[in-house]
Structure 1
Amino acid sequence: MPLPPLTPEDILEKIAGLHPDLTVLGPEVLRSRHPGEHPDNFAGGVMAQPSSTEAAATLVRWCRENDVAIVPQGGLTGLVGGNVSHAGEVILSSSRLNRIVSVHADEMTVEVEAGVALEALQQALLPLGLTTGIDLGSRGTATVGGMVSTNAGGILAFRNGVIRHQVLGIEAVLPSGEVYSDMTRVVKVSAGPDLKHLFIGGEGAFGFVTKIVLKLEPIRPHRATAFVGVGDAASALAVIRKFRSRSGILLEGAELMWPRYIRDHAALKGFDLSWLEGEDTAALLLSVSAESEETALTALEEELETLWEPVGIKGAILAQSLDQARKFWDIREDSGFYYAEIPNAPSFDISVPPSYLDTYVAGVAERLKAIDESYDFYVYGHIADGNLHLTLKKPGPLPESELLAVEGAIYSGVQAAGGSFSAEHGVGLEKRHAYEANVPKAKRDLARLIKQAIDPQGLFNPGKVPF
């Protein structure tokens, strides 16, 4: 007869003294903590917090021997339910793996533990004149390990790629309890399959990432920021191309907010839009860096003047201070403003080739109206790399049949155009159906074969991704 499943209290008692570097929290403590982006993240009731790779490996071996599932967690900023846990599972948190191990300023690399928050790393690198090649709006809480697990993208992906392109080396605990260590610090490695990529974007299904080696880049602290009114994505891309080709400056951000998003958010924040011509005008947020503030500001002014008539710019405003620039960016990065009025609004995260953006958005509007004439939606995103975030202006959760119809409207044509149904948020629980419907069968089958080989008991983050 199989033994009854262990309760959170049973698990807490059995793993409390497992390793001196392992802190264990029980249901009472977790109930008093904020669970992050999903209310069920702490539903498992037991959290193990290793402060060393050895402690994490010991915990994983115990779970394997006792057939207890593991839910890896980082900064709890995930938006697709990838951190959700259930009673009988152990939450394996990276919160105490929070050390910056070593910075190699001369070679522009850094070794960090998985629980280091992105912003903490950025601040530590600042005095060295260095920064990460990736940035996110959730930088204050998002951890490097969590970003690796979801293959995070963010603001600089158009220039530096996603985090997959920034990772040089990885250490991780496998489902067997063995430690996979490949802490490479060089870009050029042609020595067989690069297996670290299993953990990048694997959402914790293939192991628990404990350390990472990242590439760095020089920081250009002098910035200039502007809002620019444009008629469509094609116009925005013309502006972006011009700034990317100008010598002496670097484009640090290019974010487009479609009319409904910029109008509603500006009204909520009391942000003046008198400079923006026309109700149907989108707002392009641009930020450039240079060797001096004057150079950056001059470049913005000169290029916008050159582009004004050829592109059909419909107004612009330049930030006159650092505080004003922060307010500009707040309009973009405080992107969940609508949830107070539209709780649980269904949201989507797709990417398409940038040249297809206008066709795609117009098509989504038509397809949603065909389902329900009352449907409206917000659109905004990382315009230069084709990543859009779309949110339906309707409270959720939607009935399953309605949600599937909406997903069909959102994802239609994305794969055929060479895009992805999930650009930077992952699959988790919420996009399992989309994964099955949009990922080719051969790719799904291969992923499951690899999962079976590495984690035959299915202990790591069960029910997430496609597993």
Structure 2
Amino acid sequence: MIDYTPAALTEALTGLHADLRVLGPEALAGRHPGEHEHNLGAGVMAQPASTEAAAALIAWCRENRVAIVPQGGSSGLVGGGVSRAEEVILSSARLNSILAIRPDESTVEVEAGVTLEALQSALRPHGLTTGIDLGSRGSATIGGMLATNAGGILAFRNGVMRHQILGLEAVLPSGEIFSDMTRVVKVSAGPDLKQLFIGGEGAFGFVTRVVMTVERLRPHRATALLGVVDAASALSVAAHLNQLGGVTLEAAEMMWPRYVQDHAALKAFDLDWLDEGAAMLLVEVSAETQEIATLALEEALAELWEPAGLRGGILAQSSEQARRFWDLREDSGFYFGQFPNAPSFDISVPPSEIDDYVAGLLGGLRQIGSGYDAYVYGHVADGNLHIALATAGPLPTEIKHAVEHVVYAGVTARGGSFSAEHGVGLEKRDAYEEHVPAAKRLLARQIKALLDPQGLFNPGKVPF
């Protein structure tokens, strides 16, 4: 086996296929690496513009025992796209075509490098939109979202990425092309093997094309910020709005008190309407007209005010004000300014367990030491919470283990997950080993060994 330098790899791969562009160390110098500083560590990036070009690259890498790190928008938060010298980054950047929009069957066929925002923009003239949405829509690619089984704002209603995918095409570690471009929901023809790639974080192959379901666009929205005492109150509001006739609940996003107070202060956002110490719930509904949406939300909140114990509320009076509301929730990295590299987590518990979990989390952090606290926010209706420590990272090893013990305590026993929508990558390898049942881990490794016996696809990440 040859030990390839980035320059040698660049030279060897250049000209391998007409649809393959290769960027070497000079071309990558100065390029922003994305969410992780070591994403471009390999120093060489291959950008296929076709499935066949990706297959040629992968076949060459297998023959020469060169490891491959698939990358989409490089917006992952767990180090799943980190690369090292002697590896090749396999980027979906040039697989960026929207191949077909089929309004009559509510499906779309896209290449894996298309961003969520680009797809949403292309669907809008057809009166359609995706059934999944994320704050990182501008950078997150469909292939990357598929690889991590991303969830987001609409998961409480439409499920996660796994529920949006009808078919896909991928190149296996052997260089062979796996094609299952199904366009229908009902398929009962043996094991659904495409599921291996969804949530597999690039360990089983490189996805090049995808068939997704889409839904009718509902542009007429009404948005409100509400003060709530706890998640139980927030869930009662969401349940009521979800049962209203003539409107559709589009979002139920909760932010706990420290997140609200610190972010509002940073953005000069007026909180005079919010009771001191209250958490905040952002809700949004849609209807056939703006008037119907606004009136329905106003009437529902009046009806809910006392039963839900609301601690204040403000209804957006314009789309610009609604955007400011959303900015409080979606600009969630604000705390990195004060706490660089703040350790962050992404867990899910059944919604009915949220209040008990958060109380245990915050109490457990305080027991670790003075000043340990967390920003808590997330998709309350499906139980997905994002947690960021209010302290700079990286943490000393002993403290890191103590924090992880508190964050993950009881999550699995409650029927939740230590990773809700960000994946495992490098950052959660230890949690994977501790919280995933042994039989499940063994089966994943057996499948990995069958498909990728040399272990060349995204090595060192999800511990297959």
Q: TM-score range by the shorter chain?
A: over 0.9
Q: Check whether the contact 2:248–2:286 (CA below 8 A) recurs between aligned residues.
A: yes
Identity between Structure 1 and Structure 2 (%)? 69
- Which residue in 1 is equivalent to 2:398? 401
- Which residue in 2 is equivalent to 1:207? 205
**454-463 vs 364-373, which deviates more?**
364-373
Using the alignment, how far apart are the partners of 1:325 and 1:133 within structure 2?
21
Q: Check whether the contact 2:2–2:64 (CA below 8 A) recurs between aligned residues.
A: no
Of 85, 96, 100, which aligns to 1:98?
96
- Supply the RMSD in Å over aligned alpha carbons: 0.6
1:24-423 to structure 2, matched below 5 A, reads: 24-278=22-276, 280-423=277-420
CA positional deviation for 1:373 = 2.9
- Which residue in 1 is equivalent to 2:459? 462
Three-state SS of the structure 2 residue aligned to 1:448 is: helix
CA positional deviation for 1:29 = 1.3
**364-373 vs 136-145, which deviates more?**
364-373
Question: CA-to-partner distance for each residue in 1:140-179, whole Å, 9 max, x for gaps?
Answer: 0100000000000000000000010000001000000000
Using the alignment, how far apart are the partners of 1:405 and 1:457 within structure 2?
35
Matched to 1:75, the amino acid is G
Question: CA-to-partner distance for each residue in 1:79-128, whole Å, 9 max, x for gaps?
Answer: 00000000000000000000000111100000000000000000000010
Count residues with an aligned counterpart.
464
Using the alignment, how far apart are the partners of 1:4 and 1:211 within structure 2?
32
CA positional deviation for 1:443 = 0.5
Three-state SS of the structure 2 residue aligned to 1:358 is: helix
Matched to 2:41, the amino acid is A
Matched to 1:334, the amino acid is D
Q: Check whether the contact 2:46–2:88 (CA below 8 A) recurs between aligned residues.
A: yes
Matched to 1:410, the amino acid is V
Three-state SS of the structure 2 residue aligned to 1:148 is: helix
Three-state SS of the structure 1 residue aligned to 2:47 is: strand
Q: Check whether the contact 2:252–2:381 (CA below 8 A) recurs between aligned residues.
A: yes
Using the alignment, how far apart are the partners of 2:371 and 2:268 within structure 1?
27
Three-state SS of the structure 1 residue aligned to 2:70 is: strand
Using the alignment, how far apart are the partners of 2:135 and 2:403 within structure 1?
27
Question: CA-to-partner distance for each residue in 1:305-348, whole Å, 9 max, x for gaps?
Answer: 00111111111001111111001000000000010110000000
Using the alignment, how far apart are the partners of 1:374 and 1:273 within structure 2?
25
Three-state SS of the structure 2 residue aligned to 1:102 is: strand
Using the alignment, how far apart are the partners of 2:381 and 2:75 within structure 1?
24
CA positional deviation for 1:182 = 0.1
Question: CA-to-partner distance for each residue in 1:29-78, whole Å, 9 max, x for gaps?
Answer: 11221000000000100000000000000000000000000000000100
Using the alignment, how far apart are the partners of 1:65 and 1:247 within structure 2?
60
Three-state SS of the structure 2 residue aligned to 1:311 is: coil
Matched to 1:443, the amino acid is K
Using the alignment, how far apart are the partners of 1:439 and 1:140 within structure 2?
32
- Which residue in 1 is equivalent to 2:18? 20
TM-score for both structures, normalised by structure 1: 0.99
Flag as ranges the 4+ runs of structure 1 deviating above 2 A: none
Using the alignment, how far apart are the partners of 1:333 and 1:366 within structure 2?
26
Three-state SS of the structure 2 residue aligned to 1:312 is: coil
Using the alignment, how far apart are the partners of 1:116 and 1:395 within structure 2?
34
Three-state SS of the structure 2 residue aligned to 1:262 is: helix
Using the alignment, how far apart are the partners of 2:241 and 2:339 within structure 1?
37
Using the alignment, how far apart are the partners of 2:279 and 2:407 within structure 1?
20
Q: Check whether the contact 2:350–2:415 (CA below 8 A) recurs between aligned residues.
A: yes
Matched to 1:416, the amino acid is A
Matched to 1:30, the amino acid is L
**Structure 1 spans left out of the alignment, 5+ residues:** none
Matched to 1:294, the amino acid is E
